[in-house]
Chains A and B, each alone.
Chain A
């Protein structure tokens, strides 16, 4: 199975400051069709997961442009340019290139 390793697992951030979450996979996430199926999800307290980013760097409709995704191969990053109070929650990366589909452990973002 592809292991997805996120860091840090806990991320205290001051309002208005940037934040960055790393996600590393144990093998390349480039699919035979040329796509890289790496998604990022946000789970606010008491809510279902919400997709923020798909295929590494494509932001979902309605997601603020302070969120961005980047990376390639086995190394990926989710960045928040200026953290707002509504960003509190747990962030997960997920790969859908290989079976079984696997998620990172989650990174808990909190306001300092």
Chain B
């Protein structure tokens, strides 16, 4: 069965960095585009970043552009989100989700807290 398992969240000071991972299993990872979506505490869903299956295209929300980088390692079936220059407003539960338009499977999320 399809599984997406996020990790790498934690508490970080403003201006700091963190790298999130999303381990994929149960499907052919190399064939699917992937997304990161976040949810601030008590708030709605916000799309963050996208990467095509072959890494030929990457898109970012304006709120993270220039600070976050999405990448993937097909040999490890893993999606990444490198987050730099973190701000308090980046505090959220970060989910990975599968497919360009479908978002048919989501992980359980990993919590990032940016606080001094």
Q: Which residues of A contact B (CB under 8 A)?
A: 35, 37, 39, 41, 43, 48-51, 54-55, 60, 90, 92, 94, 96-97, 99-106
Which residues of chain B from 60 to 116 have a CB within 8 Å of any chain A CB?
61-62, 95, 100-104, 106-109
In the assembled complex, which residues on chain A have CB atoms less than 8 Å from the CB atom of B47?
100-103
* 28 examples of A-B residue contacts, CB within 8 angstroms: A35-B101, A39-B101, A39-B102, A41-B103, A43-B45, A48-B106, A48-B107, A48-B109, A49-B95, A49-B103, A50-B106, A51-B103, A51-B104, A54-B101, A92-B44, A92-B45, A94-B45, A94-B103, A96-B100, A96-B102, A96-B103, A97-B101, A99-B59, A100-B47, A100-B61, A101-B47, A105-B44, A106-B45
Q: A48-B109, A100-B47, A101-B47 are in contact. Are A39 and B62 (CB under 8 A)?
A: no
CB distance from A91 to the nearest CB of B (A): 11
Residue of B nearest to A6 (CB): B44
Residues of B within 8 A of A (CB): 35, 37, 44-47, 50, 59, 61-62, 95, 100-104, 106-109
Find the B residue at minimum CB distance from A106. Answer: B44
Cβ contacts under 8 Å, A43 to chain B: 45
Bound-state Cα–Cα, A35 to B62, Å: 26
CA A100 to CA B106, docked complex, whole Å? 19
Bound Cα distance from A104 to B47, whole angstroms: 11
State how many angstroms separate the Cβ of A40 from the closest Cβ of chain B: 11
Q: Nearest chain-A residue to B107 (Cβ)?
A: A48
**In the bound complex, CA of A37 to CA of B45 (Å):** 17
Known: A39-B103, A92-B44. A48 touches B95 (CB 8 A): yes
Cα A101 to Cα B97 in complex, Å, equals 13
* Complex: A96 Cα to B61 Cα, angstroms: 13
Would you call A54 and B102 a contact (CB within 8 A)?
A: yes
- Closest Cβ–Cβ distance, residue B106 to chain A (whole Å): 5
Are B102 and A48 in touch, CB under 8 angstroms?
no
Q: Looking across the interface, which residue of chain B has its beta carbon closest to that of A49?
A: B106
Bound together, the chains give a CA A39 to CA B45 distance in angstroms of 13
